[in-house]
Structure 1
């Protein structure tokens, strides 16, 4: 049974959703996307995701074709219609359909597409075993803080990681780790300090990352927001990544070198437990 999507005011089967070949998202990747997690049939930390969605839209001067309150209503309706208990809601806005030209078209209504995907989050096997990461040169554009649908660099990085038997790419610029191909990255030093790169134009401001930093501070885990090198990551006691669809996931090897003893560490496990409690309470 096909899932139900929302496209420009209509709920319809996902395999019947169609956009024009002249949609600027298709021609120019002129659009923004956002992903919110669903746990126990409810949205997780959704206001943080909607705020980031709104900010990214503003950064490229793209109007939302409906109030943000309406977007949230559609999210919840899609969860209900598709019976999603655990997974994600995907949202995308493009600048709409117009003759192909680089400048912004006038009097064009943006395209709004939303759909759900069921996904195992709590009992994900990788949450228990940890994942392997591969470092790759960060070749993306300069405004990585914008959640753009232009993801070719990430596609290539994650494909290279996949071909190397890894589940995530860690992007590296000038010797320093920026972020994952689709995640925020952290290390825990041998002195039990949680380290992650500070927000800037060089990386996406992760919503799960933001929550983890606040939760760690509440639990008196020392936090340092600063750049860290690949060498420092390889020498760390633990490493993990965060994302809306994976919560907190241990990284047990980087470039085939074991992190710590090569198994998920105690602080990472504890942070995952704390985040799951937060997710269930954030309805």
Structure 2
């Protein structure tokens, strides 16, 4: 069961118009919500980010935040989803192809559920990564449909036999192709500040709160690829990856080359936040 425009429909009844601006301009926004035990995790934070992105790109939300939350709850119930994700996308609407915003256009909402198991193996065993220059636009804080650079980066990782790409701008680490990045050095957690160069990750925010609660010093400041390679630990955070350790970057072991104790501890605390 999907939600499309203003009603619940079967997937075969989702009829996308070729005039949808999301199709030919990527003129739209989205959110991916994690579902644990049939409930949306950090729903308020996700909705706040969605609302902010919509405001910044000047897309009028088709429903109130409260109404959209109710739609997602119904969608989860109708699909019997216990563990997985809900994808929600809002495009500016349908109009003949022209760059300026069309007048009196109605935004289009699409949402659906996917059963996705937690990636226990990679959370426990870790992943490897490579570094690449960050060629994305300068508003990475907005969760828009323009993801081709991220797609290319993720494919580059797979082409190199690893699972993720660490992006950097002239040597300054930003984030990864589909996740935020954190590193540990001398029991200090470093991560790029939440400005226009990275997505303000929901899991990222939760992990920073957990780190502070464990009396781990947190520094939201830029660091270089050279500093990252000398880290004691490194890990990614994200809605679908939770806290996943990075074992190697560009073939070089991070720390001992095994998941570190702080990463492990933060993941354990993270699991407590949705097990309650």
Q: TM-score under structure 2 normalisation?
A: 0.97
The aligned counterpart of 1:253 is 248
* Mapped pair 1:128 → 2:132: no
Matches within 5 A, 1:48-197: 48-121=45-118, 124-189=120-185, 191-197=186-192
Q: CA RMSD in A?
A: 1.0
The SS at the match of 1:109 is coil
TM-score, with length taken from structure 1? 0.95
Answer yes or no: is 1:40 the counterpart of 2:59. Answer: no
User: Displacement, 1:233?
Assistant: 1.0
Which aligned segments of 4 or more residues in structure 1 are displaced greater than 6 angstroms?
none
Number of aligned positions between the proteins: 276
Change (3 A) 1:148 1:221: same
Of the candidates 175, 196, 199, which is equivalent to residue 201 of structure 1?
196
User: Equivalents in 2 of 1:16, 1:125: separation in Å?
Assistant: 36
CA distance in 2, matches of 1:195, 1:279: 25
Name the SS for the 1:66 alignment partner.
Answer: coil
SS at match of 1:165: coil
Q: Structure 2: 5+ residue runs without aligned partners? A: none
Instruction: Select 2:215's aligned residue among 220, 224, 236.
Output: 220
Distance in 1 (alpha carbons) for counterparts of 2:181 and 2:13 = 37
Q: Is the 8 A contact 1:45 1:279 kept in 2?
A: no
Deviations 1:68-109 (A, max 9, x none): 111111111111111211111111100000011000011111
Q: Flag structure 1 segments of 5+ consecutive residues without an equivalent.
A: none
1:185 Cα deviation after fit: 0.3
The CA distance in 1 between the partners of 2:82 and 2:163, in whole Å, is 24
Distance 2:91 2:30 in 1: 9
CA distance in 1 between partners of 2:94 and 2:120 (Å): 39
